Amino acid sequence: MSRRLEFLDEAVEDIRLMRVRGAAAIARYAVEALRRLAGDAEAYNAEELFKLLDEASKKLLASRPTAVSLPNGVRFVMHKAKKMLESNPSLEDFRRGFKEAADEFIERSLKAVERIAEYGSRRIEDGDILMTHCNSSAVVEILKKAHMEGKSFKVFITETRPLYQGRITARQLGGEGIETYLIVDGAARYFMNDIDKVIVGADAVAVNGAVVNKIGTSMIALAAHEARTQFLVAAETFKFSPETIIGELIWIEERGSEEVLPSEEHKRIPLCRVRNPAFDVTPPEYIDAIITEEGVIPPEAAFHIMEQMFGNLTPDELASYKTVKPLEESE
């Protein structure tokens, strides 16, 4: 196997095994991997390099299926690459152009989170008791900004089984001097009457405004709805899924059973299968607002955001560079 493919396989494995995780982070990581390939790969001409990038894109898209930021990131650079090819560029110009496109995506992604922090922090009030689920960089940045602005608030964090990303959130917020309570996922409703606002991240937003996020999010949204607690989602516009406009569904990743039950113990329990979906879907009627870098919108406005972002793409282009069925699905 060539060095180029080894490097790519490592990037795919980093995402698949969640050594790199979080919807925004995996998109930037995949685009960074393509950028590196565009710089390093041996090719005779731009067309050959495009083919290598295209193959690599497909491998990266097979790493994790749900976070739509990943295909949107890949689509962003690959469509620019395709456009460049039309003018028969030299290999060097193509390499340079591709690297610029990758830098543009990464910069936009980071800027979007900054803007979201700005808008989102305005929704946090002094004295608020908040709740969050899993670990979202967009949510953490909102809370850091509100804290820097001198607002005082506390955050309930669900531990987020099976992988306990809630602990990462607690560490990050605690490191900033923000007071937190770590609770088991099942305690979300128990505390909901004390909560002013729930704020979570997103892996994908569908055309009807439904939000795909870490498993358990929809139960928390349901409890928030029942208690009339505000439910906010922080999502960059590249988490919006253009494929859903043309009727495609968002794949819900189902991960291995050992994340839930170690295999040694599993062997000792007869007739027990483990199901481990990583995400669920929160319907738009449980969501008060989605905080994007374009503004704070009602979920019903998702279509307009998509029109703005992807309106220039043909259905074929929308259908290209999709995530694909996971490499490994548990029974």
Q: How far apart are CA 234 and CA 121, in angstroms?
A: 11
**Judged by CB under 6 A, which of 33, 37, 124, 278 binds ligand RI2?**
278
Distances (CA, A) of 160 to 275, 281, 319: 16, 16, 32
Residues within window 155-194 making contact with ligand RI2, judged by CB under 6 A: 165
Least Å distance, CB 144 to ligand RI2, is 13
Q: Is 210 in the site for ligand RI2 (CB under 6 A)?
A: no
- Cβ closer to ligand RI2: 22 or 209? 22
CA dihedral 151, 153, 155, 156 (to 10 degrees): -160
CB of 134 to ligand RI2, least distance (A): 4
Our CB check for ligand RI2 shows the closer of 127 and 277 to be 277
Burial 170-191 (b: 16+ CB within 10 A, else e): bebbeeeebebebbebeebeeb
Residues in the interface with ligand RI2 (CB under 6 A) total 17
**Selected range binding ligand RI2 among 2-10, 30-38, 100-108, 197-205, rule: CB under 6 A:** 197-205
The verdict on 30 binding ligand RI2 (CB under 6 A) reads no
Nearer to ligand RI2, 97 or 216 (CB): 216
The two tokens of residue 124 are 């946090």
Residue 66: strand, helix, or coil:
coil
Instruction: By CB under 6 A, name the one of 121, 136, 218, 282 that touches ligand RI2.
Output: 136
- CB nearer to ligand RI2: give 24 or 60: 24
User: Distance (Å, rounded) from C-alpha 254 to C-alpha 77?
Assistant: 28
Cα–Cα distance, 100 to 87 (Å, whole number): 17
CA–CA dist 164, 81 (Å, integer): 38
Task: Among 8, 11, 23, 130, indicate the residue that binds ligand RI2 (CB under 6 A).
Answer: 23
Q: Among 15-23, 47-55, 80-88, 289-297, which window interacts with ligand RI2 (CB under 6 A)?
A: 15-23
Least distance (Å) between residue 169 CB and ligand RI2: 10
CB 196 within 8 A of CB 128: yes
Strand-by-strand arrangement of the 279-282 sheet: 204-205, 211-214, 279-282
Q: Is 203 in the site for ligand RI2 (CB under 6 A)?
A: yes
Give me the residue label for tokens 């019903």.
300
Among the listed residues 128, 185, 203, 288, the single catalytic one is 203
Residues 105-134 that bind ligand RI2 (CB under 6 A): 134
243 touches 319 (CB < 8 A): yes
Is residue 201 involved in binding ligand RI2 (CB under 6 A)?
A: yes
Candidate segments 22-30, 35-43, 52-60, 70-78, binder of ligand RI2 by CB under 6 A: 22-30
134 is catalytic: yes
Active-site residue 196, yes or no? no
Q: x-or-dash pattern for ligand RI2, window 236-265, by CB under 6 A?
A: ------------------------------
Three-state SS sequence of 184-243: CHHHHHHHHCCCCEEEECCCEECCCCCEEEECCHHHHHHHHHHCCCEEEEECCHHHECHH
Per CB under 6 A, does 35 bind ligand RI2? Answer: no
173/118 Cα distance (integer angstroms):
17
Among 300, 125, 247, which Cα is nearest to 197's?
125
Q: Which amino acid is at 301?
A: A
Of the ranges 52-60, 96-104, 199-207, 263-271, which one interacts with ligand RI2 (CB under 6 A)? 199-207
**Active site positions, annotated:** 134, 203
For ligand RI2, the binding residues (CB under 6 A) are 21-25, 134, 136-138, 165, 200-203, 213-214, 278
